[in-house]
């Protein structure tokens, strides 16, 4: 009966898409799904509407209310436009910036977004071609816009596209604006309410001039120009993995003074099909294979990559055996923050009013680094919009040094309010050059950090459960972990359980304290006596439940590095077994 009711509802919803307000291609696709004997695809495409999550609007491209297409993009934009006109009704002119990545349909969606905004009397700064996501954030602040939209699905597979909405501070939208925008989108009951006919006089094309200003700002972040001058021939292999970093990241490295930037020609080709990789995600080893092969060919000192919208950075270094190994996102964040804090200290710039931000699932080694250097550290929810919120709260009060997350995102500057692979790559290369002046490579630098602040190993596991039934299974798993928390993990007693849905931290002795966070979130964390941390949450942008595991192992000397790694790996396996994953 329940399935019959669902089919009845999605059928009625789909039949609306056969109306004259929809283009012929869309109507044909919807009719095919309605006529099919198997209604699975119909249900998947219409059982819900796309909603804003931690990364905005994201979904598989195709016809339907649960798909990325000109109508779901159009409804989101019309709803956002309506809200902007309400929120900024006293301004003589409202303006927005619009950008996009290299994905299939991204330019088309971006132009439709620009048309709809302009049709609503809103001025639009539209990039002339694909650009890194952080540059869209920069443009919003640079032009004094009230909002912005970037069409991107980040590192998702090629069948996806997405819609990231930004507010006037250049950060992705959070409450109350996200809820209000959704409310305005939901008020649009008919496609005829979407103003698709643009006003070209309201659209200003932007490009190279903004690139120049943005890159100059990034150059201003440099802390060790003399180290670069000594190591300007550092062999750096960089790949954009077919994405938007192809122009600006090599330019930024050259601006910093690096002269030996080695490309992976096959992956310098911008393409929404990402033809040389299974997944365009720099945290996936296979995505780095061609860059590693090039590095072996030339004997590179450092390998870096950016994801398709150039907000995430991947990094490969040589270990003690000369093998190229992929750093995880925690290690990249750790290295960058340690470098920035250390250089600030060496230059006499630490005044006691500095702060750093990390997400709750990111390594606790960062807290140890901050504590040792008397730098204030803030924890926040997953998603760079929350890091940006902490930055906003501390603006003009404390000095921001950097912020990052385990998912390969880092931000070193305040003139952008989203993770930025352009600046991250530039500073990683600089840190590598600086380390060489100290007689170290990145492997030695990493070992030194662990020796000072404790050895840590972090592993993430994502359990994918697609579709409606998958969403229900993920909910059931979260309920199970919430109602039956483990008493011990990997042989160590659980001493604290943090539930961000209730904002309660429950200790083993039964005492409960409240967590100081701006809102609730469906995240659970278990902390053990021996320093391990497990975080569990459903993804806000993908059909998966994510497990973040961090284990600690005593490290007495640098010589213990490999043994610590083996001991930590065994501990992670024990954690997985206890969690049933």
> Which of 68, 51, 46 lies closest to 59, judged by CA?
68
C-alpha closest to that of 550 among 526, 566, 522? 526
Our measurement of the distance from residue 81's CA atom to the centroid of its chain's CA atoms, rounded to an integer in Å, reads: 25
Instruction: Please list the alpha-helical segments (H only) found in 223-288.
Output: 225-230, 245-256
Task: Indicate the DSSP class of residue 285.
Answer: G
- 300 cis-preceded (ω within 30 degrees of 0): no
Q: Report the alpha-carbon distance of residue 567 to residue 457 in Å, rounded.
A: 10
Cβ atoms of residues 553 and 455 within 8 Å:
yes
Terminal Cα distance for the chain, rounded = 33
Count helices and strands (H / E) in the chain.
18, 23
CA 304-130-405 angle, to 5 degrees, is: 45
**What are the angstrom distances between the C-alpha of 71 and each of 62, 63, 139, 149?**
10, 9, 26, 16
252 is catalytic: no
Check 95, 154, 423, 521 and give the catalytic one: 154
Q: Which two tokens stand for residue 240?
A: 């954009």
Residue labelled with tokens 């030194």: 448
Listed residue (144, 119, 277, 127) closest to 209, CA to CA: 127
CA–CA distances in Å: residue 59 to residues 383, 409, 496: 18, 21, 36
Residue 65 and residue 35: Cα distance in Å, rounded? 18
3-class secondary structure per residue, 164-231: EEEECCCCECCCCHHHHHHHHHHCCCCHHHCCCCCCHHHEEEECHHHHHHHHHHHHCCCCCHHHHHHC
Q: Which two tokens stand for residue 18?
A: 């056969």
d(CA 500, CA 515): 8
Residue numbers annotated as active site = 154
């Amino acid at each position: 009966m329940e399935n019959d009711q669902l089919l009845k509802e999605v059928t009625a919803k789909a039949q609306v898409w056969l109306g004259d307000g929809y283009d012929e291609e869309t109507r044909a696709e919807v009719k095919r799904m309605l006529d099919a004997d198997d209604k699975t695809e119909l249900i998947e495409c219409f059982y819900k509407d796309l909603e804003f999550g931690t990364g905005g609007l994201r979904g598989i491209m195709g016809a339907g209310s649960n798909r990325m297409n000109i109508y779901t993009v159009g409804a989101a934009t019309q709803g956002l436009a309506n809200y902007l006109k309400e929120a900024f009704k006293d301004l003589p002119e409202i303006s927005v910036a619009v950008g996009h990545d290299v994905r299939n349909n991204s330019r088309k969606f971006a132009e439709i977004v620009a048309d709809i905004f302009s049709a609503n009397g809103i001025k639009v700064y539209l990039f002339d071609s694909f650009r890194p996501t952080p540059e869209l954030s920069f443009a919003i602040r640079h032009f004094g816009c009230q909002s912005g939209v970037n069409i991107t699905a980040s590192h998702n597979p090629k069948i996806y596209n997405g819609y990231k909405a930004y507010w006037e501070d250049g950060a992705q939208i959070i409450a109350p604006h996200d809820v209000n925008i959704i409310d305005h989108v939901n008020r649009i009951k008919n496609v005829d309410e979407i103003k698709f006919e643009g006003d070209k006089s309201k659209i200003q094309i932007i490009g190279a001039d903004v690139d120049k200003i943005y890159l100059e700002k990034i150059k201003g972040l440099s802390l060790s120009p003399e180290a670069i001058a000594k190591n300007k021939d550092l062999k750096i292999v960089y790949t954009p993995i077919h994405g938007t970093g192809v122009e600006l990241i090599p330019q930024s490295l050259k601006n910093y003074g690096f002269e030996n930037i080695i490309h992976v020609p096959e992956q310098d080709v911008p393409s929404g099909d990402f033809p040389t990789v299974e997944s365009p995600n720099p945290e996936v080893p296979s995505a780095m294979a061609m860059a590693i092969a090039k590095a072996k060919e030339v004997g590179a000192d450092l390998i870096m990559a950016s994801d398709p919208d150039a907000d995430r950075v991947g990094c490969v270094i040589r270990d003690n055996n000369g093998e190229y190994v992929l750093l995880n996102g925690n290690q990249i964040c750790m290295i960058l923050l340690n470098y920035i804090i250390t250089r600030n200290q060496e230059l006499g710039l630490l005044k006691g009013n500095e702060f750093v931000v990390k997400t709750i699932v990111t390594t606790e080694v960062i807290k140890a680094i901050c504590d040792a250097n008397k730098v204030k550290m803030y924890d926040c929810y997953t998603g760079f919009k929350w890091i940006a919120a902490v930055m906003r709260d501390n603006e003009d009060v404390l000095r921001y040094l950097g912020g990052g997350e385990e998912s390969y995102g880092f931000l070193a500057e305040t003139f952008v309010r989203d993770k930025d692979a352009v600046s991250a790559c530039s500073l990683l290369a600089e840190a590598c050059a600086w380390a060489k002046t100290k007689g170290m490579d990145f492997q030695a630098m990493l070992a030194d950090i662990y020796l000072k602040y404790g050895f840590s190993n972090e592993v993430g596991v994502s359990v994918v459960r697609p579709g409606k039934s998958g969403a229900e299974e993920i909910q059931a798993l979260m309920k199970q972990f919430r109602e039956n928390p483990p008493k011990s993990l990997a042989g160590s007693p659980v001493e604290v359980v943090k539930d961000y849905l209730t904002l309660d931290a429950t200790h083993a002795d039964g005492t409960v304290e409240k967590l100081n966070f701006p809102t609730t979130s469906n995240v659970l964390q278990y902390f053990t006596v021996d320093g391990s941390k497990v975080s569990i949450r459903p993804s806000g942008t993908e059909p998966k439940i994510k497990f973040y595991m961090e284990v600690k192992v005593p490290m007495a000397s640098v010589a213990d590095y490999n043994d610590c790694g083996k001991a930590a790996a065994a501990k992670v396996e024990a954690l997985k077994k206890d969690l049933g994953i």
